[in-house]
Amino acid sequence: MKLVLLGTGGFLPTDAAQTACYFLPEVGVMLDAGSGTYHLPKYLQYPELDIYLSHAHGDHTSGLVYLFASYLTADYLHGGETLDADNISGFVQRANEALPRTRIHADEKTLAFVQPIHAYLPYQWLPLQAQEPLPNGGVLTHFMMECETVGYRLDWPGHSLAYITDTIARPDSAYLEHIRGVDLLLHECNGPDHLSVLTEHIGHSHLSSALEAAAQAQVKRLVLIHSSPIESLGYSTNLEAVRSIFPNVEIGYDKMEIDF
Ligand SMILES: [Zn+2]
């Protein structure tokens, strides 16, 4: 199963990283819809799109307004037709027809914030169900975390993925049981260890705490996401010093492709 990291930044897009968006092309599932959504057309191959939102903040939802343009651009990239004055109306019509096939799943609180803002767009808005069936025999489950963010776990026979963002990793965090043993964990990390008081104050995890979460949950592979646009919160030069906590760790980057 392939995962493409369309946006690995948090808070504010930068030249280096768009904001939160993670896409599974083979099944048409997207986790969050930040500014990284603009990378979607290149990877879109499934006729349906299911978007699961972790919470309502703009760095996770701003890309919801890009979907019409994304569908049209994907049609142009993959449809084999050149674009001209005679056929532009066909492109527009097909993109408009794709909008109502877009299903956006979120908890009730997130829907209450996000749905009214996008009322002019004909998406389907769906409250999260305890078990969401996924294509190819998969299932998605969710759980609430600290800072009122939803965490996700996606399981297929032989493949599993968990997505943890915008929360504080603690040794006793309840979400650790939900992500136990996954093949791939996307876990947020918003700062180096010496700024752990600050990262906790702003509702985020620091470097060692993210690695400790992965070790405690006995996941197989960890990719750190949701990097800060503020330079002093960067942690790439600190990783080797703490790698022993959880050796199979990488720092995610935009357009990184992962097979799990
Ligand atoms: Zn965020």
What pLDDT is recorded for position 46?
78
Say which residue, 129 or 45, is predicted with more confidence.
Answer: 129
Report CA(148)–ligand 1 centroid distance (Å). 12
Report CA(129)–ligand 1 centroid distance (Å). 23
Report CA(89)–ligand 1 centroid distance (Å). 37
Walk me through the domains of the chain, giving residue ranges and CATH numbers: 2-259 (3.60.15.10)
What pLDDT is recorded for position 151?
98
Alpha-carbon span 188 to 185, nearest angstrom: 10
Report CA(14)–ligand 1 centroid distance (Å). 14
What pLDDT is recorded for position 96?
96
Report CA(51)–ligand 1 centroid distance (Å). 16
**Considering Cα of 156, then 215, then 171, then 232, what sign does the dihedral take?**
negative
Report CA(10)–ligand 1 centroid distance (Å). 5
Alpha-carbon span 42 to 51, nearest angstrom: 17
Q: E strand or H helix at 41, and its extent?
A: helix 40-43
Tokens 């069936």 sit on residue: 133
Taking residues 100-123, what's their average pLDDT?
A: 97
Q: Note the pLDDT tens digit of each residue in 60-110.
A: 999 999 999 999 999 999 998 999 999 999 999 999 999 999 999 999 999
122 three-state secondary structure: coil
Report CA(213)–ligand 1 centroid distance (Å). 19
Report CA(201)–ligand 1 centroid distance (Å). 14
Report CA(203)–ligand 1 centroid distance (Å). 10
What pLDDT is recorded for position 48?
87
> Looking at the predicted structure, is the pLDDT value of residue 45 above 90?
no
Q: Note the pLDDT tens digit of each residue in 165-198.
A: 999 999 999 999 999 999 999 999 999 999 999 9
Report CA(166)–ligand 1 centroid distance (Å). 5
Report CA(85)–ligand 1 centroid distance (Å). 40
Whole-prediction pTM value? Answer: 0.97
What pLDDT is recorded for position 58?
98
Give 142's strand partners: 152
Report CA(128)–ligand 1 centroid distance (Å). 20
Taking residues 141-169, what's their average pLDDT?
A: 97
196 three-state secondary structure: helix
Quote the percentage of the chain above a pLDDT of 90: 98
When computed from its CA atoms, the radius of gyration of the chain, rounded to whole angstroms, is: 18
Report CA(38)–ligand 1 centroid distance (Å). 17
What pLDDT is recorded for position 110?
98
